[in-house]
Amino acid sequence: MSDRFQVLIKDVMAKPITIAKSAFVSEALEKMLDEGVDPLIVTNNGTVIGTTSRAAIAETLGSKKTQAMKATSIHVANTVEENFTSAYPDQSIDVLVPLLQRYKLVVVLDPDHRLIGQVTTGDLLKVLRPAGGLLDAMEPARSIQADERAVHLRRRMLDGEINRFIVEDGETVLGIVTETDVAKALYAFKDIVEGTRQDYRIRNLLVRDIMTSPLISVDASMDVSDVIDLMLKKNISSVPVMQNGRIAGLVTRNSLVQAL
């Protein structure tokens, strides 16, 4: 039996980070950014009812239904994703692999179904590492031009279920843009731009205005464990892999778990 099956969920789980469904999305996003987590566990009177993510918040903030509303007046209840999964502390961590290949987070409950912890892909990757090389743990890298409108970026993210794009100016790589960047931008606009002008301003927002730069990348020859350590240390969810001077793909926390 592999050593990994001797490790229990209680050995890798972290303290649960929660938000009440009655809280505002501004509070949820601030907590995600401060704690470096995504998603958050949503509770109602102490009971877990689902999760909320940066992507769900971005979708809600960008909706026409909330166009005239500030982020400080939209409740988390409007962003809750009720489809979540759970496990128990005395189960072996092998049960986490298929769960985290589908979900971003596993809720840990005690025998009385009370919330006592959570496990994310980052928690799992601290103790389990894929056996192959970086090229075996990549996902495709999609790109977008820096002068593309942010609303088109958001549409591509929603339609293609894509969380991040490499940002280019022609063939020159400038940075990366993620669902977190979109959520932060929409959140800022909700607070500083009056409702009647939000739609106009957002439609003129460019990808270069919200992207993260410079881009942190790794070489394809780098050891997988070293890349995971880098991602955990810098609290980043993805890193482009360079091969022969070009981006060969992206290593993400999800792609690493898929490779387990």
pTM: 0.85
CA 145 vs. chain centroid, Å, equals 22
Q: pLDDT (tens digit, 9 = 90+) per residue, 1-43?
A: 445 558 999 999 999 999 999 999 989 999 998 998 999 999 9
Nearest residue to 41 (alpha-carbon basis) of 101, 111, 106: 106
**Pairing mode of beta strands 18-20, 164-169:** unpaired
Instruction: List the Cα angle 161/162/164 in 5-degree steps.
Output: 155
How far from 38 is each of 19, 26, 52, 253, CA to CA, in Å? 12, 14, 8, 12
CA torsion, points 229, 232, 237, 241, in degrees to nearest 10? -20
- The yes-or-no verdict on residue 92 having pLDDT over 90 is yes
192/79 Cα distance (integer angstroms): 22
Q: pLDDT (tens digit, 9 = 90+) per residue, 167-206?
A: 999 989 999 999 999 888 888 876 655 555 556 666 788 9
Average pLDDT, the chain: 90
